[in-house]
Structure 1
Amino acid sequence: MPLAAKLSCWLAALQALTVLGLEISILVMVLKYVENVFSSWSSDKGVAIYFMLLVIASLYGVFLLVGGVLNGDTIQIIGFSVFNLFAMSLSIFRYAQVHAWLSDDVVAGDLVFNMIKREMIASIVIMAGMTVVFMVLTYFVFHSFGWEIYKRVGADMKIRRMYINYRLLVLLLKLDFFVFMGFAVSYIILILKSSDPEFGITIALVPITLLVLSMAFWSLRRESAIMMWTVVVLLCASTAYYVFKCARMYDPKQERKYATQKPMMTYYTIVSLVVIAATLHQAATCLSNFGYGLKERIEITRGKRSDMEQIQDYYVNAAGDRRMNLDG
């Protein structure tokens, strides 16, 4: 394992522990000095939700990075750096939202905010600085692991492009899991009440989303065109769902419900839309690559025969015929 990869893993773990410590400190001070923190349904629970999102994002980032390093997956390692940037943006929104909440004289004054201000700024600075460090380390890791793609799929450029699209879709599906779960939990706790018709629908969407993501992974591995088409249709429906939610936030009739959480929820909805749109594009791209030899090449390199000299060196052309790869 390259030194840059080891260093990235250790720094990601250190960042997660540091953020966890800071967030626990913030939550403890809020619970200690702010009365009736959980008295109302939405706004007062915001600090707990932001705490949860930042901690889980830091831990999930470690999962992405370690998984990418252990598998020699440069796409996932690059994705971790982008994900860490997203987590940092959440910490910035958290600062603004908590400041707005604690500025309300009914809840608390500036005293509590000044107590937790340093910890919130420290989280932002640490995550911003570590994002820059991770991007630099990713550059070195990318060059160290560049040989891995060649060893796995050979020198044929067409197969290599298909493999990169394959790995990119896997990464996007993992990001989909985080952004949807974060959105669903935040929406249920911060916005909805148990009497709202959307409450049960949003809860039901959680297992449905897990099923769709599992279907996507399975169809990608098996190159099942029917299943992938189903996933594409469901992703289109998911895109429409997020567009509906975003429009609903700015419906004058719903203004009171979203008043305190509109900036954060709007941002999260837009990020979710971008990730789902990218997933939809990659799913269609991978679907068009089905049947051109990538599945066979991946199956060969997945522990059955690791020696490159034993791998059949072929590719499948557009007519479906196998041709020898002269680059091998």
Structure 2
Amino acid sequence: MAISEAFRKMPPAAQVGCWLAGAQALAVIGMEISILVKVLKYVENVFSSWSSDKGVAIYFMLLTIGSLYGVFLLVGGALNGDTIQIIGFCVFNLFAMSLAIFRYFQVRAWLYGRNVLAAGDAVFGMIRPEMIASVAVMAVVTAVFVVLTYRMYHSFGWEIYKRVGADLKMRRMFINYRLLVLLLKLNFFMFVGFAVSYIILILKSSDPEFAITIALVPVTLAVLSLAFWGLRRESVALMWTVVVLLCASTAYFVFKVARMYDPKQEEKYASQKPMMTYYTIVSLVVIAATLHQAATCLANFGYGLKERIEITRGKRSDMEQIQDYYVNAAGDRRMNLDG
């Protein structure tokens, strides 16, 4: 009930954006199901080998979960008036589109290299329209969101003033805070997606890395939860712990890239090297950006941002101590423009 009420109060551009993101998710998931069903129907022993044949299933998983995760980012940003998270949805959509493009070429190479019930080009011809359509849908939606995001930026601009006041320094700190929150959310998808892909495509249960990579998923969740808690509480100790762990994650991904191009490991990575390399590089970029934002937010601790955010969430009652706000007769916070 509360969510539906909040949705009705959204600006028109935000409502259109939410419906559009949901429609994209349904369209992409429908096409992914169609692709997977056709491959399972016409290709013999799809999951016979450890790596290459499972590539279709991995792309299906990444694109399906990615579509739903994009809706989560967009709706969360619209409900909270967070234009940074809405922009993050656009960037995330571009990343998902790039995975769909990778999938097109890798699936084509895989089908042409197999002995299938129908000729490889015939099977590829069956699924090619859906693969192209999924890329086109994400490209069109991202282009439309450039316009919608511009409109939402102006619609939600007042939210920053309501939350942190007219102080430009406080606004910059709040923007850095929200950007770090977004990057932590993106990190979760990147880490978990990489771990699952690596486990299914590359590793075998007998590999020493198998258990370590499985453990990466809950450890990642714990680290990111720690980061959210430390950021919200402005805990210097927790944030430094997160920075150290993110540095360790950077070393882990660099190690994985080195392994992919180790001649002794060439057979293990041969079929999935392009996609896994790309995914790893993007993950490293996201981690680097997260480290930068974590350091920036650490430098902002102790300057009053936490108190401002607590006030707007109703966790503090000392509203009268903040000169930039007043409460009207209806109990709503409004900017004080007299100071």
User: 1:249-299: CA deviations, max 9, x gaps?
Assistant: 111111100000000000000000000000011001101111111011111
Return the offset for 1:204: 1.0
- The TM-score with structure 2 as length reference comes to 0.91
Among candidates 128, 131, 134, match of residue 145 of structure 2: 134
Letter of the 1:35 partner, please give it: E
2:303 counterpart SS class = coil
Give structure 1 stretches of 5+ with no counterpart.
315-324
Counterpart of 2:106? 97
Partner of 2:268: 257
Q: Displacement, 1:105?
A: 3.4
2:162 is the counterpart of 1:166: no
1:126 deviation in Å? Answer: 0.8
Aligned-pair CA distance for 1:216: 0.2
Contact 1:305 1:311 in 2 (8 A): no
Corresponding position of 1:12:
21
- Per the alignment, in what secondary structure is the counterpart of residue 67 of structure 1? helix
Q: How many Å separate the matches in 1 of 2:102 and 2:145?
A: 22
2:254 to 243, 253, 266: 243
Equivalent in the alignment of 2:327? none
Tell me which of 69, 74, 77 is aligned to 1:60: 69
SS of alignment partner, residue 166 of structure 2: coil
Partner of 2:240: helix, strand, or coil? helix
SS at match of 2:310: helix
Pairing partner for 1:312 from 317, 322, 327 = 322
The CA deviation at 1:56 is: 0.7
Tell me which residue corresponds to 1:155: 166
Root-mean-square deviation over aligned CA pairs: 1.7
Q: How far apart, CA to CA, are the structure 1 residues paired with 2:103 and 2:321?
A: 51
Q: Which residue of 1 is the match for residue 53 of structure 2?
A: 44
1:291-316 Cα shifts (integer Å, max 9, x gaps): 1110111111113479x9746138xx
Task: Tell me how far apart the structure 2 counterparts of residues 52 and 236 of structure 1 sit (CA, whole Å).
Answer: 28
Q: Deviations over 1:181-239 (max 9, x none)?
A: 11000000000011111111101111111111011000000000011000000000001
Structure 2: which amino acid aligns with 1:301?
T
Task: Return the letter of the residue paired with 1:117.
Answer: R
Residue 274 (1) aligns with residue 294 (2): no
The equivalent residue for 2:39 is 30
Aligned residues: 317
Task: Give the deviation of 1:120 after TM superposition.
Answer: 0.4
Q: Distance in 2 between matches of 1:105 and 1:210?
A: 38
Alpha carbons of structure 1 residues 35 and 281: separation in structure 2 relative to 1, 3 Å: same
The amino acid of 1:188's aligned partner reads: I
TM-score, normalised relative to structure 1? 0.94
Aligned with 2:252: secondary structure?
helix
Cα distance between partner residues in 1 of 2:299 and 2:153: 27
Among 99, 106, 109, the residue aligned to 2:120: 109
Shift of residue 116, structure 1, vs aligned partner: 0.3
Q: Amino acid of the residue matched to residue 313 of structure 1?
A: Q
Unaligned runs of 5+ in 2: 1-9, 325-335
Structure 1 range deviating more: 126-135 or 169-178 = 126-135
Question: 4+ runs of 1 displaced by more than 2 Å?
Answer: 105-108, 303-306, 308-311, 325-328
